[in-house]
Amino acid sequence: MVDATEEFFRGLGQRRQRGLTALHEGTVRFDIAGDGSVDHWLVSIARGEVTAARQATGGDAVVRADRAVFDRIARGEAYFLTTVLRGEAEVEGSPRLFATVRRLFPSPPGSRPERHRGDGHG
């Protein structure tokens, strides 16, 4: 059975990402810990395209989270930024990329879609 985290990363390249420009380009490595091991995913954002691959090195920025926390984010049950502010996830590197990364996650049910500067919506 595929978990929410793996499903999220495998589906990134298949979902259309609106409003990504050259300002949003870079790579982010996600280190997801669980069951005594760490899974690594490298997400690349270039020319409006998003891809993800299993890779333990690289990244202009790094996100570290427990699998249970990341599963909640990937399912849209928790906001990425909120988990970081609560200390449930750690971030390191380019703040600009974290603003971009948060756009990749689904919004929790019942929430209003977020508006982002520079995407034509306010």
The architecture in CATH of the region 4-104 reads 2-Layer Sandwich (3.30)
The per-residue pLDDT for 61 is 93
For 29-71, the pLDDT digits (tens) are 999 999 999 999 999 988 778 899 999 999 999 999 999 999 9
**Which residue has tokens 């005594």?**
36
pTM here is 0.82
3-class secondary-structure state, position 42:
strand
Strand 37-46 vs strand 26-34: parallel, antiparallel, or unpaired?
A: antiparallel
The per-residue pLDDT for 54 is 96
* Banded model confidence at residue 100, pLDDT cuts 50, 70, 90: confident
The per-residue pLDDT for 98 is 84
